[in-house]
Amino acid sequence: NIQETVTIKDNTYKRDDYTNVTDKIISLVGRNLHTTPKHPLSFVRQKIVNYFYKSFVNARGNPIFSVYDNISPIVTVEQNFDSLLIPKNHPSRQKSDCYYINHDNLLRAHTTAHQAELIRSGLDNFLIAGDVYRRDEIDRTHYPVFHQLDAVRLKTRDQLFPNDDVLKIFDNKNKTCIINGQAKQDCHTLEACKLMEHELKSTLVGLAKELFGENTKYRWVDTTFPFTQPSWELEVFHNNEWLELLGCGIMIQSILTNTGVTDRIGWAFGLGLERIAMCLYQIPDIRLFWSIDSGFLNQFNTEDVNKKIIYKSVSQYPQCTNDISFWLPQNKSSPYASNDFYDLVRSIGGDIIEQVMLVDQFKHPKNGKESHCYRIIYRHMEKTLTNSEVNVIHKQIETAVRKQLGVTVR
């Protein structure tokens, strides 16, 4: 009974050889934790929105940023990748990293997927918040669905250089934008790029201090994104370690020209809400955000988004550990990927899966067969699991990997 279609939130899509979204993931679409009242992820979103509302106002004192937090996470490959100039062979496009609905559609891997269409619709200053979907490892800081917030700010020449008639955004000697190293884009004048960099960085340092406190230590790290140049990451020092807070940069000019904007320069950034909420509220495990248990939710039962809350563990229930070893299939046309195994474990075990680790791998010297051994750590967030409960699920996982991934359990 091979199904021909996938249905997500009343929309039906044709399956093809790209389809890898699971029922477990589909069941999470529409939870909207980032807009759920009194949810820690919603508090973090509101704090950031409030910071932008108060930092950027027009002559009448009204906020200039508009907020989009209700855009469907189902996007096209064009939105998620092409509109952002992400190369066709870029690793982030791989099936092993994304939840594809089919060749043309996927669950967005970042909220940046919407920046081009919002610019095209005429906006100059906006925030996008939403759920994003990525295939990844399983541990206390990774969950296949998490939440991001992106921002874009575009400025005209007159906005960038008020009271000046001479300075320009674009350097006409270099009409086409050349992109080299961590330098500015060739089409931008140095003064335009530097002024934008300054506003971007001071806005984001202000945000970091707003969230983590006035005396927060921070540092800028050079990086690259296909859609910004130059690009940076902001790290803050929290609990004795450097924490990557966000990625940002000056938008690649052709993203703007492709949407019909020819007279503005832009900056953009994107950040993850979970990591910030885990630090602010000392939440130890990312699965807790999905909890519907009152032991978790009641601790955030306040109207005040700025209330200082320290999460108190509902008590740590014990872990159960169980290993699984198997020979990988020797099929070169559809190679085995660990992320396929992780998804399958998550689909069957659900949120009692705390972590999955590849603990051993080897190649048989004679027949060349490869073996993987994974350790699966089971822990319920709100009760003690019995060995027999775990064994039932572990057996189901064994059966499923055999059937669905073609491995030979040892």
- The residues of the shown chain that bind ligand PHE, judged by CB under 6 A, are 110, 112, 150, 225, 228, 247-249, 268-270
Any residues with CB less than 8 A from the CB of 237 and at least 6 apart, and which?
A: 216, 217, 218, 243
Shortest Å, Cβ 323 to ligand PHE: 33
In angstroms, rounded to a whole number, what is the distance separating the alpha carbons of residues 259 and 238? 39
Nearest CA to 85 among 255, 248, 315, 301? 255
Shortest Å, Cβ 233 to ligand PHE: 9
Closest to ligand PHE by CB, 112 vs 185, is 112
Shortest Å, Cβ 225 to ligand PHE: 5
Closest to ligand PHE by CB, 249 vs 349, is 249
Q: Can you tell me which residue has the tokens 């406190």?
A: 213
Output b/e per residue, 350-367; b: 16+ Cβ within 10 A.
ebbbbbbeeeeeeeeeee
Closest to ligand PHE by CB, 78 vs 370, is 78
Closest to ligand PHE by CB, 113 vs 348, is 113
Shortest Å, Cβ 56 to ligand PHE: 17
Shortest Å, Cβ 303 to ligand PHE: 31
Q: What share of the chain is helix, strand, coil (3-state, %, to 5)?
A: 35, 30, 40
Distances (CA, A) of 237 to 148, 279, 310, 335: 21, 11, 19, 40
φ, ψ (nearest 5 deg) of residue 81: -125, -60
Residue nearest to ligand PHE (CB): 270
Shortest Å, Cβ 259 to ligand PHE: 15
Shortest Å, Cβ 406 to ligand PHE: 33
In angstroms, rounded to a whole number, what is the distance separating the alpha carbons of residues 110 and 24? 20
Shortest Å, Cβ 314 to ligand PHE: 31
User: Is 356 strand, coil or helix?
Assistant: strand
Closest to ligand PHE by CB, 105 vs 112, is 112
Distances (CA, A) of 82 to 68, 77, 116, 117: 21, 7, 10, 12
Q: Are 224 and 245 in contact (CB under 8 A)?
A: no
Shortest Å, Cβ 22 to ligand PHE: 22
Q: Can you tell me which residue has the tokens 């993931």?
A: 25
Closest to ligand PHE by CB, 72 vs 322, is 72
Distances (CA, A) of 36 to 45, 112, 274, 275, 297: 11, 21, 14, 18, 11
Distances (CA, A) of 277 to 221, 273, 283, 330: 22, 6, 7, 43
Residue 35's CB: how many other CB atoms inside 10 A?
Answer: 17
Closest to ligand PHE by CB, 42 vs 229, is 229
Shortest Å, Cβ 134 to ligand PHE: 9
Closest to ligand PHE by CB, 223 vs 291, is 223
Q: Which two tokens stand for residue 407?
A: 């491995």
In angstroms, rounded to a whole number, what is the distance separating the alpha carbons of residues 32 and 275? 17
Closest to ligand PHE by CB, 144 vs 249, is 249
Any residues with CB less than 8 A from the CB of 173 and at least 6 apart, and which?
A: none
